[in-house]
C-alpha cells in the first residue's frame, strides 16, 4: 500500500504534507470544510492532481491527520492498493420520490456490490437528511449481518446546516458513498470507545417516533432535559452536544449513545441523531477531556489487538460532541491513537455527525454517537 496526503486552506493550492509519490489508480479520500467543498471547481482541482483516481468527497466537522486536527481546510489522502482492489457504489437519500427512506437506501446501496471476495465496506454518508439508524439497519439486511461495515455521517462543524459528499463529481446533498474493499491479503480491524459516564435517574421513553423523543415517564422530554441542564439549558441546542443520552432498548444487547441534534420548543420534543424506541430506558451522560482521551487510546489498543499484521492505514472517525469537550486539547485523542497504532500507519479521518461500526465482537453495524471509531487496514 502506498499513500500520499495533501492539504488546502482557503483559496490556496493543494500542497503535499507527506512525501510526494506517483500513485496508480488510487482511492482518493477528500475530507474537508463544507464551504470549501462547495467550490464549483473543487472536483476538477482534485482530478488534475489524480487523473486516474477514484475520488470520494465528504464534509467534516474537522479533518484528522497525524499532523493536525483542523476545521478550515481540505485534506486529501490518496491510497494505492498494491494487492487488493476496490469498488465504489453510491445512492442518494433524496432520490426516492421526495420520500426519504433510509432503510431501503442502505439495503439497495450494499446490494450493488459483488459479494464474492468482499472484505469490508467503508461508508461516507450524508449527515443531514439520513436516518443513520435506518441506514445501518438496511445495510445489515443486505449482508445477513456478515460483512464488516464502518464509516461516518458527514459533518458541518457545529452548524448543522447542511452536509455534502460525492463520488467523482462536485459534492452535493443527500449522497451516500460506499467503498468496497476486496482481496485475500487484505486485513481490516476496527474498534469503538466513548468514554462517557451516565448520571441521574433512568427514565422510560413513553412516546417517540423514529428519531424524535416526545415523552419520558409520561412527561415532556424537553422539559425534563432542561431541568437537569439547569442554567446550561439557555445554551440549547448547542449545549446538548455536551450531554448526550444513554439509550438501552429492549431489543438490543448493548446500550448506545445518542446525540441530541436539535430541539422543538413547540411540542417539547428533542430530535436525536438516530432512532429511539418506545419503552427504551434513557439516562443523561457527561464526560471530561481525560476520559475522552483514555477512551481513544483504548479503542486503538483494541483495534490493534485484533490484528495479525501492522496497520498501514488508520481511518479515524470521532464525534463533533467529543471535539467540543476537548476544545483546545482536541489533538490529544489523535496523539493517543497514533502512539498505539505506530508511526508507519498513515492517519486520516474526520469529526462527524455519527460513527458507523459494529459493537466489539459483533458483525452488524450500528450508528453510534460520541465515540472514537478506528478502522485499521493493511494488505
Q: Where are the domains of the chain?
A: 2-192+291-378, 197-286
Q: How far is CA 46 from CA 17, 50, 74, 179, in A?
A: 15, 6, 11, 18
* Residues in CB range of 316: below 8 A, 6 or more apart: 64, 334, 337, 347, 348, 349, 350, 372, 373, 374
Cβ 202 vs Cβ 282: under 8 Å: yes
Say if residue 13 is exposed, middle or buried (CB neighbours under 10 Å; 0-12, 13-18, 19+).
exposed
Task: Give the whole-number percent of the chain exceeding pLDDT 70.
Answer: 99
What is the DSSP code string of 151-171?
Answer: EEE--BTBT-S---EEESS--
Rounding to the nearest 10 degrees, give the CA dihedral for residues 132, 358, 321, 175. -30
Joined grid coordinates for residue 196: 462517557
Count CB-CB contacts under 10 A for residue 173.
Answer: 18
pLDDT at 96: 66
Cα 327 to the chain's mean position, in Å? Answer: 19
* Residues in CB range of 49: below 8 A, 6 or more apart: 6, 14, 76
**Cell 450500528, residue located:** 366
- Kindly state the helix (H) or strand (E) to which residue 351 belongs, with its residue range: strand 346-352
Say if residue 359 is exposed, middle or buried (CB neighbours under 10 Å; 0-12, 13-18, 19+).
middle
Cα 210 to the chain's mean position, in Å? Answer: 20
Say if residue 188 is exposed, middle or buried (CB neighbours under 10 Å; 0-12, 13-18, 19+).
buried
0.85 surpassed by pTM: yes
**Cell 467540543, residue located:** 324
Q: What is the pLDDT of residues 61-101, one digit of tens each?
A: 999 999 999 999 999 999 999 999 999 999 998 886 656 78
| 256/368 Cα distance (integer angstroms) | 7
Strands 366-368 and 118-125: unpaired
Q: What is the pLDDT of residues 104-162, one digit of tens each?
A: 999 999 999 999 999 999 999 999 989 899 999 999 999 877 899 999 999 999 888 99
* Residues in CB range of 280: below 8 A, 6 or more apart: 204, 205, 208, 247, 248, 249, 250
Per-residue model confidence as pLDDT tens for the chain (379 residues)? 999 999 999 889 999 999 999 999 999 999 999 999 999 999 999 999 999 999 999 999 999 999 999 999 999 999 999 999 999 999 998 886 656 789 999 999 999 999 999 999 999 999 998 989 999 999 999 987 789 999 999 999 988 899 999 999 999 999 999 999 999 999 999 999 999 999 999 999 999 998 999 999 999 999 999 998 889 898 888 888 889 999 998 777 789 999 888 899 999 999 998 899 999 999 999 999 999 999 999 999 999 999 999 999 999 999 999 999 999 999 999 999 999 999 999 999 999 999 999 998 888 999 999 999 999 999 9
Joined grid coordinates for residue 276: 429511539
Q: Which fold has domain 197-286?
A: Thrombin, subunit H (2.40.10)
**Cell 439557555, residue located:** 234
| 225/223 Cα distance (integer angstroms) | 5
Q: How far is CA 317 from CA 47, 58, 362, in A?
A: 25, 12, 19
What is the DSSP code string of 15-50?
Answer: EESS-----SS-EEEEEE-HHHHT-TTHHHHHHHH-
| 204/278 Cα distance (integer angstroms) | 8
Amino acid at each position: 500500500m502506498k499513500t500520499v496526503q495533501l492539504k488546502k486552506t482557503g483559496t490556496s493550492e493543494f500542497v503535499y504534507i507527506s512525501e510526494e509519490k506517483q500513485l496508480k489508480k488510487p482511492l482518493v479520500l477528500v475530507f474537508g470544510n463544507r464551504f470549501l467543498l462547495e467550490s464549483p471547481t473543487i472536483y476538477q482541482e482534485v482530478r488534475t492532481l489524480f487523473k486516474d483516481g477514484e475520488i470520494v468527497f465528504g464534509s467534516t466537522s474537522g479533518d484528522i491527520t497525524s499532523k493536525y486536527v483542523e476545521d478550515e481546510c481540505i485534506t486529501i489522502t490518496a491510497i494505492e492498493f498494491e494487492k487488493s482492489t476496490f469498488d465504489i457504489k453510491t445512492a442518494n437519500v433524496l432520490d426516492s420520490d421526495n420520500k426519504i427512506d433510509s432503510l431501503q437506501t442502505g439495503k439497495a446501496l450494499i446490494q450493488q456490490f459483488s459479494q464474492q471476495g468482499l472484505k469490508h465496506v467503508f461508508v461516507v454518508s450524508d449527515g443531514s437528511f439520513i436516518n443513520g439508524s435506518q441506514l445501518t439497519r438496511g445495510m445489515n439486511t443486505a449482508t445477513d449481518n456478515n460483512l464488516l461495515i464502518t464509516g461516518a455521517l458527514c459533518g458541518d462543524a457545529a452548524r448543522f446546516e447542511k452536509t455534502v459528499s460525492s463520488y467523482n463529481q462536485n459534492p452535493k446533498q443527500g449522497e451516500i458513498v460506499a467503498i468496497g474493499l476486496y482481496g485475500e491479503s487484505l486485513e481490516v480491524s476496527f474498534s469503538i470507545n466513548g468514554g462517557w459516564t451516565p448520571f441521574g435517574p433512568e427514565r422510560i421513553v413513553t412516546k417517540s417516533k423514529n428519531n424524535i423523543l416526545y415523552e419520558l415517564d409520561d412527561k415532556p422530554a424537553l422539559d425534563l432535559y432542561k431541568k437537569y441542564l439547569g442554567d446550561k439549558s439557555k445554551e440549547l441546542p448547542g449545549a446538548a452536544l455536551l450531554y448526550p443520552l444513554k439509550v438501552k432498548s429492549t431489543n438490543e444487547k448493548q446500550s448506545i449513545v445518542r446525540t441530541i441534534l436539535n430541539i422543538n420548543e413547540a411540542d417539547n420534543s428533542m430530535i436525536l441523531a438516530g432512532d429511539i424506541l418506545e419503552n427504551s430506558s434513557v439516562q443523561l451522560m457527561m464526560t471530561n477531556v481525560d476520559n475522552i482521551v483514555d477512551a481513544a487510546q483504548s479503542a486503538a489498543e483494541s483495534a490493534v489487538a485484533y490484528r495479525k499484521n501492522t496497520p498501514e492505514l488508520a481511518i479515524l472517525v470521532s464525534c463533533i460532541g467529543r471535539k467540543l469537550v476537548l476544545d483546545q486539547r482536541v489533538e490529544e485523542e489523535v496523539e493517543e491513537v497514533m502512539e498505539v497504532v505506530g508511526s508507519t500507519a498513515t492517519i486520516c479521518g474526520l469529526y462527524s455527525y455519527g460513527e458507523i461500526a459494529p459493537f466489539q465482537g459483533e458483525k452488524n453495524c450500528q450508528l453510534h454517537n460520541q465515540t472514537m471509531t478506528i478502522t485499521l487496514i493493511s494488505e
